[in-house]
Structure 1
Amino acid sequence: MNYKCIIFDCDGVLVDSETISNQVVVDLANSYGANITLEYAIQHFAGTSLSYVKSHIEELIQQDLPDNFEKDYRRISFERFQQDIQPIQGITELLDELTIPFCVASNGPLNKMKLNLELTGLLHYFKGNLFSAYEIKKWKPDPTLFLYAAKTMGFQPKDCLVIEDSISGIKAAKSGGFDVFAFTNKHKKEVFEKENVPSFSSMKAIRDALK
């Protein structure tokens, strides 16, 4: 495959953070009476913006969340990341083998990306090529973040491959004119089949596909 650049999502693709962050959402949401499970959170919130998560929870509880919800979520999740975050199995081997430029584009804030990549020993691979939706105020499934990342890296969408693990990220990549690989897990495999994109359950499989 003759790609010139790879754009990685962060959560669930580079770092195994989704279970951690979604459990924090569940705990906070349930403290306000949402009565949701981790499976529910992963299904509905993975790859979305925090503003969407807040709106969804407010619909469930039929009232506004307090102003400190985001502050509490960031504080608790960052504490959990420092205790439990791990790199996705096989990602370091993939990054070590890449001979083309690559970057990361995430719906999360830049300080979250930097923290989790540093905690997992991955930050040095990206040489500052970190792109956050918070920088441009456009969140997936809007394709603007991927378009911004590709342009900044010096490439056209047709030259880039996006590696994503969420429906919103896949839709953003496809609508922006990018090829996309879906990195699957037990929560998402059946959902990704409807998107008609190549899907892989391991980083080794992605490495093999890129050879």
Structure 2
Amino acid sequence: MAQPHCLLFDCDGTLVDSEPLLAAEMATTLNELGLPFTPDDYIGEFRGARFSHIAQELQRRYGEIDAERLKASEAVMRQRYAARVPEELTALPGVREALDLLAVYPSGVVSNGTQAKIRAGLAATGLGEYFGERLFSGYSANCWKPDPCLYLYAASLMGFAPRECLAIDDAIVGVQAALAAGMTVVHLNRFPDVETTPEGAISISNMHQLPTIVAHLSRSIAVNG
């Protein structure tokens, strides 16, 4: 494990508790399209996946939907989700405390979501001040987790080599992406009953634990290096 010089945080499910809202809106939209889906399906099978990937897999199982109808439904879903964010979205427990303790490290947000979605989530929870403009979207990089290129894109723009970066991600697709990018990875495993931390990643159950992990990594390098 390399000493971290830069911290790269996933957004949804890592910094902000958006997944219950997103799962509910996805379920409503997919059911309207005739594709069986529940919020629990998102948590259990598709957490961190793009809507297009979920819709593609459900069509494989249950039958195809007209592409234009699907596109229009996704737009409506995003509008409904965005309308709920300002009043309902919260930061995950321990996030602000962790960010305060880790403020000496350069940090950024790396998300499969759009720039607008990232900004709205951080603004609603008061976390935007920690990251400024260091927000890296799959739509800007034109690649998405689990492809490592999104984390590589963020590291490059932050000015760090992958081995100097510590990625913090709650979804398996994000953990796999950061591991493939050659980063040290912390898996925020909030659902250990349905997820197993991939080999090579460090598992934590809540964000209160993150500063201790970062301090341990730094001390280990200082003692052994």
Q: TM-score range by the shorter chain?
A: over 0.9
* Correspondence list, 1:47-126, <5 A: 47-65=48-66, 66=69, 67-98=71-102, 99-126=104-131
Structure 2 alignment gaps of length 5 or more = 216-225
Q: Are 1:172 and 2:177 an aligned pair?
A: yes
Partner Cα distance (2:213, 2:31) in 1: 42
Q: Give the root-mean-square deviation of aligned CA atoms.
A: 1.5
CA distance in 2, matches of 1:69, 1:57: 15
Change (3 A) 1:48 1:56: same
Partner of 1:41 in structure 2? 42
Larger radius of gyration: 2
Map 1:144-155 to 2 at 5 A: 144-155=149-160
Structure 2 distance, partners of 1:147, 1:71, is: 29
Q: How many residues align?
A: 210
Take 1:189 and 1:132, find their aligned partners in 2: how far apart are those partners?
A: 29
Check conservation: 2:16, 2:121, Cα contact below 8 A.
yes
With over 3 angstroms needed to count, the CA separation of the structure-2 counterparts of 1:28 and 1:195, relative to structure 1, is farther
Report the AA paired with residue 156 of structure 2: K
TM-score (normalised: structure 1): 0.94
Normalising by structure 2, we get a TM-score of 0.88
Q: Distance in 2 between matches of 1:48 and 1:131?
A: 17
Which residue does 1:3 correspond to in 2?
4
Q: Which residue of 2 is the match for residue 183 of structure 1?
A: 188
Residue 148 of structure 2 contacts residue 181 of structure 2 at CA under 8 Å; is this kept in 1? yes
For residues 7 and 193 of structure 1, the distance between their equivalents in structure 2, rounded to whole angstroms, comes to: 18
Q: Does 1:208 align with 2:212?
A: yes
1:156–1:43 distance in 2 versus 1, CA, 3 Å: same
Summarize the alignment of residues 117-136 of structure 1 with structure 2, pairs less than 5 Å apart: 117-136=122-141
Secondary structure (helix, strand or coil) at the match of 1:124 reads helix
Residues 165 and 183, structure 2, Cα contact 8 Å, conserved in 1: yes
Match for residue 162 of structure 1 among 164, 167, 172: 167
In structure 1, the gaps of 5 or more residues are: none
Counterparts of 1:194 and 1:172, CA distance in 2:
11
Q: Is the Cα contact below 8 Å between 1:174 and 1:180 reproduced in 2?
A: yes
The amino acid of 1:210's aligned partner reads V
Whether the aligned pair in 1 keeps the contact of 2:48 and 2:172 (CA below 8 Å) is yes
